[in-house]
Structure 1
């Protein structure tokens, strides 16, 4: 997934600008991560991501296009999908689209960091 000299690239999709800003701050707090792009419009994000390979996708659910549908469309382009949402009722459905994690807002930096570490460890075991 990652070359030793590079960072994990991250994309954020959320229709709440404040959530995007907070996730950007969390990504910047972890030296192994880098924000490649952030989108408040899921349609624009889909068009952009379909031409790339993304390490981490941080995705809201309740948007113009459901984050669940976005995940279905982008799964093959993303190593890890992490839903970051305020909607606990969608958790089971999120895993049906092969989500790797499901974080409920508000998310602390500690919980965010633990999630990233767990996924990196999981990925190392799979190699």
Structure 2
């Protein structure tokens, strides 16, 4: 069962969501909110699988609200404005319910959420302390990790950066060796994000990083080709 909350500043829209959630056997509505501040506080303090979120609210834009969340549940937008659809999916929304929607359309959205949820249950992640709280980082979202003296910067494929107190050695020991490789005293990269390797440089989607002399053989072995220069 999906634990969810709803945020909408329209009372009628909120009542409809509450009723549809009550009728659906796969949904457990934990709480509903008309206040973005109260909803954010609840998400910070509780485990929430799914968020039903209006976009055009008086206090805040729903898309910006979601982007600012530190812990992000799966997301279904509910809005009367179809022009937000493209921007909505840019934040990886599972579905986009255009008001007014009926219970059948609501149920199809839940089916999509369930399919996504199953994929994330066993999704490996790393838990680090950042900005005075524990932050969950899925390993498949990491592009590379950079040493910053007593800290490391974790670069996500989305462009987001998470700074945490750690050494590179300690971080490397926490990562699966079949998915990450250290290429330099200052860099660990996700092997799945490597686009190419030539001239002693590893090309990632957003970085071109030099391979250190001490790590060159490991990178060569990764590519399985001793002729690579």
The interval holding the TM-score normalised by the smaller chain is 0.7 to 0.9
Aligned with 1:65 (options 56, 60, 67): 60
Alignment of 1:92-107 (within 5 A): 92-107=86-101
**In structure 2, what is the Cα distance between the partners aligned to 1:62 and 1:124?**
30
- Structure 1 runs, 4 residues or longer, greater than 3 Å off: none
Q: Is the Cα contact below 8 Å between 1:50 and 1:77 reproduced in 2?
A: no
Report the TM-score when normalising by structure 1: 0.86
Q: In the alignment, is the contact (CA less than 8 A) between 1:53 and 1:77 conserved in 2?
A: no
- Which consecutive residues of structure 1, in runs of 5 or more, have no partner in the other structure? 1-6
Higher relative contact order (CA 8 A, sep 6+): 1
Deviations 1:20-62, CA, capped at 9 Å, x for gaps:
1100110011112111010001121112211222111000001
Contact 1:13 1:59 (8 Å CA) reproduced: yes
Tell me whether 17-26 or 93-102 shows the greater mean CA deviation.
93-102
Select the structure of larger CA radius of gyration.
2
CA distance in 2, matches of 1:12, 1:122: 19
Higher helix share: 1
**Cα RMSD (Å) of the superposition?**
1.5
Find the partner of 1:88 among 82, 87, 90: 82
- Identify if the C-alpha distance between structure 1 residues 36 and 12 changes in structure 2 by more than 3 Å, giving closer, same or farther: same
Note the residue ranges of structure 2 that are not aligned, 5 or more in a row.
123-229
